[in-house]
Every structure is written in C-alpha cells, then in structure tokens.
Structure 1
C-alpha cells in the first residue's frame, strides 16, 4: 500500500511542475521605483539620488499634465520606451526592452487608435499620470 502511494505521488510531480504560477508582472509603481526613481525621485519631481550627478536636471514628471489634468500618453510612452531619445545629450536611457512583456494590451494613448502596447509600458505611464499635481 505504501509503495502504491509513493508511486502515485511520484507520478504527480511532473503535473505539479506544469501548474507553476505564471511569474507576477511588476506594477507600474514597482517598475517606476526600479527604473525611474533613481533620477526622477520616488515622487517624480526630478530629485532622485542620481539627479545631482547628471549634467541636466531630470524632468519633473509631476508637471506634465495639461489643463485637463491628463498627460499626453503617446509622447510620454515614446520617451520611456526610447523612441524619442535620439537627440545628442539626451540622458534618458531606453527602457523599451526592459518593459517588454508577454502581456500586450490594445491601448488607446489618446489618438483614438488602439495599438498593441506592452502592458508594463502602459502601467509605468499610468503611474506617471497618478503623480500629477
């Protein structure tokens, strides 16, 4: 009887390996803390611990919103991703590959066109939106 129970348990081990939970996708706040706060500060004001060592002060991300209180998501996401970081002297690193994820969402950044966008990129941009004053 004991041998049969051990055989049954042993046969379930490969099944248990298949049932491993999917790795957790970091939140926008977690990615911001990991990738952005060193320069922009935890609150996004451009006062991170590395800010003083840069030749140009990082942007105050709390003041990006227009009169309607919303930020223009497409340019913000382009800047984070690295698509617009092509000017000489631009200190903003490219985070596109770091924020790529298997999870892609159809996201309308304000132009009325839902576009496949990495979930983590959307989450960081939405976190920046939440920092607006």
Structure 2
C-alpha cells in the first residue's frame, strides 16, 4: 500500500509547478494561470476539520461534473488507471489508483489547522 512519502514524490513531480513545494498554491507557474491554484494545506479546515477524501480523489482523478475545458488542473486518470489498491473512502473500500492513494495520504499529512 502506498504511503505519504509515495504521494510526496508524485506531488513533487506533478503538482509543485502550480501548487508550490508546500502545497500553498504558490508555484512558479501561478502567475501564468487564469485561476489561482488552491491552497492544498487548508482542505481539512475548509471541510469542517475532516480531510475530504472523496472530493479530493474525484477532483484529482478527473471530476466527471467538470470537463477538461472547465478546469485548469489536468486530469490524471489515464496516467493512473492501471495499478489499483483498495482505499477506504467514506467507509467503503474503493479501488483507487496507487499513485492517487499515495497523493491523498500526502495531502492529508500537510493539512494545517
């Protein structure tokens, strides 16, 4: 099963250009984006103190309610879809791409009060 360190490696490779090395939304490409990247360290705080696993999973993987033209962040579904692990999401074991499970563990680990 992946852990937060696996997610940190994925984050460093795929997310820091926009979200910055600490996830605060201050990456080097921020000024070039039409919408400022989300501060990923406040996801739990903005969700009543609970990390929003299902929402984060859906958004990173590719939220079906928002097509690729409606969002700035790329979808990662194609890059992740073949290697699945069981992840508990809202009390249900959910087949989840290994890289995404690690990323979710990492994002949860960087939450600020």
**Alignment: residue pair count:** 105
- In structure 2, the residue matched to 1:109 is 89
> TM-score, normalization: structure 1?
0.71
Counterpart of 1:80 in structure 2 is: 60
The structure with more strand, counted as a fraction of residues: 2
Q: Distance in 2 between matches of 1:90 and 1:116?
A: 24
The alpha carbon displacement at 1:101 in A equals 4.4
User: Which sections of structure 2, spanning at least 5 residues, go unmatched?
Assistant: none
TM-score (ref. length: structure 2): 0.83
- Equivalent position of 1:45 in the other structure: 24
Counterpart CA distance in 1 for 2:19 and 2:93 is: 29
Structure 1 residue ranges, 4+ long, deviating more than 3 angstroms after superposition: none
Q: CA RMSD in A?
A: 1.8
Cα pair distance change 1:59/1:96, threshold 3 Å: same
